[in-house]
Chains A and B, each alone.
Chain A
Amino acid sequence: MIFVTVGHQMPFDRLVMAVDAWAGRAGRADLFAQVGDAKYEPSHMEWVRSMSGQEFRDRVADAELVVAHAGTGTILTALELGTPILVMPRFAQLRETRNDHQIATARRFHELGKVSLAKDEQELSGVLDRLAEIRSGPRIPAEASAELIDVVRGFIFGLNQSI
């Protein structure tokens, strides 16, 4: 199963339409999409508007690939569960988000070898055509780095010298 997700906050029809079109062309019937408050209704994928946090995790865990907006919640979940993830950033200019932070997030996580990246719909289709080449990034633990945990703990329990 390929799991397509746009997160809970805003729709992202450009992503949903591009993956739906690819699914039709590629003849794949095993895609499942969470589309939010989308205007576009997919015709080649099963879809829902939203799902619970647990169902989201289950879908990511079961998927061979996650195709998503460049949201850190989705990226962190995929990395934790060891599922390869392909991200396409939202553009503020198209009113898909409030600012262009997803472009930088996607680029940086891609440079770190943690996600596959498609800048736009054309690239997305091309990357999906080479699906077998998409690898997952190194799996991450379910919790923050030990250093950060220590800093927050030190803040609460008064052990941190620098505060």
Chain B
Amino acid sequence: MSRTNDRKPRVLAVSSGGGHWVELLRLAPAFTDCDMAYVTVVSDYRDQIPSSARFHTVVDVTRWNKLKWLLCAAQLARIIAKERPAFVITTGAMPGYLACRIAKVLGAKVAWLDSIANVEELSRSGQLAGRFVDLWLTQWPHLADSNGPEYRGAVL
């Protein structure tokens, strides 16, 4: 790690595949001057991020498969212990939730941006994340609530 990078905020950006990943990439301008690492579930996505950023993959996980949960959490714990991010930003879903939980315990500030795919209600993982994240966002004005997530713009 160079001295220059030590002064840049260290950010871990996390998402599952498909839409979650496309939405995360659209936030890229927010990460200028950050020391970036990305975590996703498809190794092929490596070539879509700047070469200066570090890249990790974990096993994809849904709500039902408990064994995969454990594996994914273990992989994330290892990555987060190594990266020591000051900030975690995720667009969901479950791997992003797990990353937020683990990083929060280790002192990071964590932000949840619920996917634009969740039009009628917040995702289950987004509802769970709302209990502890530092920044909780929905991309639909009608889902914003004073006790719930804020609406502060969308990925399009």
Chain A interface residues toward B at CB < 8 A: 7-9, 52-54, 71-77, 79, 98, 101-102, 104-105, 107-108, 140, 142-153, 155-157, 160, 162-163
- For the complex with contacts A101-B119, A143-B28, 17 further pairs of A-B residues with Cβ separation under 8 Å are A7-B18, A53-B45, A76-B23, A77-B22, A105-B116, A140-B156, A144-B155, A145-B155, A145-B156, A149-B29, A151-B137, A151-B152, A152-B27, A153-B30, A155-B135, A156-B9, A160-B135
Chain B residues near A108: list those with CB within 8 A.
119
CB-CB nearest 6 A-B residue pairs: A148-B153, A147-B153, A72-B19, A73-B19, A152-B30, A145-B153
For residue A51, give the distance in angstroms from its CB to the closest CB of chain B.
9
Contact with A along B12-28 (1 / 0, CB 8 A): 00000111111100111
Total cross-chain contacts (CB, 8 A): 119
Given A105-B117, A155-B135, the answer on whether A145 and B44 have CB atoms closer than 8 Å is no
**Interface assignment of B89: CB less than 8 Å from any CB of chain A:** yes
Q: Is the CB of A79 within 8 A of B118?
A: no
What size tier do the contact residues of chain B reach? 35 or more
CA distance A155 to B113 in the complex (A): 12
**Interface assignment of B73: CB less than 8 Å from any CB of chain A:** no
Q: Can you list 21 pairs linking A and B with CB atoms under 8 Å apart?
A: A8-B42, A71-B117, A72-B23, A73-B19, A77-B22, A98-B62, A101-B117, A105-B116, A144-B27, A144-B155, A147-B152, A148-B27, A148-B139, A148-B154, A151-B137, A152-B113, A155-B135, A156-B9, A156-B31, A162-B150, A163-B135
Given A8-B17, A73-B18, A143-B26, the answer on whether A105 and B155 have CB atoms closer than 8 Å is no
Q: Is the CB of A72 within 8 A of B116?
A: yes
Q: Is the CB of A79 within 8 A of B156?
A: yes
**Interface assignment of B87: CB less than 8 Å from any CB of chain A:** yes
Chain B residues near A143: list those with CB within 8 A.
26-29
CA distance A37 to B40 in the complex (A): 21
CA distance A52 to B47 in the complex (A): 10
Chain A residues near B44: list those with CB within 8 A.
52-53
Q: Is the CB of B119 within 8 A of A105?
A: yes
CA distance A53 to B43 in the complex (A): 11
Chain A residues near B22: list those with CB within 8 A.
72-73, 76-77
CA distance A150 to B31 in the complex (A): 10
Chain B residues near A155: list those with CB within 8 A.
87, 89, 109, 111, 134-135
Chain B residues near A75: list those with CB within 8 A.
19
Q: Is the CB of B115 within 8 A of A72?
A: yes
Q: Which residue of B lies closest to A146 (CB)?
A: B153
**Interface assignment of B52: CB less than 8 Å from any CB of chain A:** no
CA distance A105 to B119 in the complex (A): 6
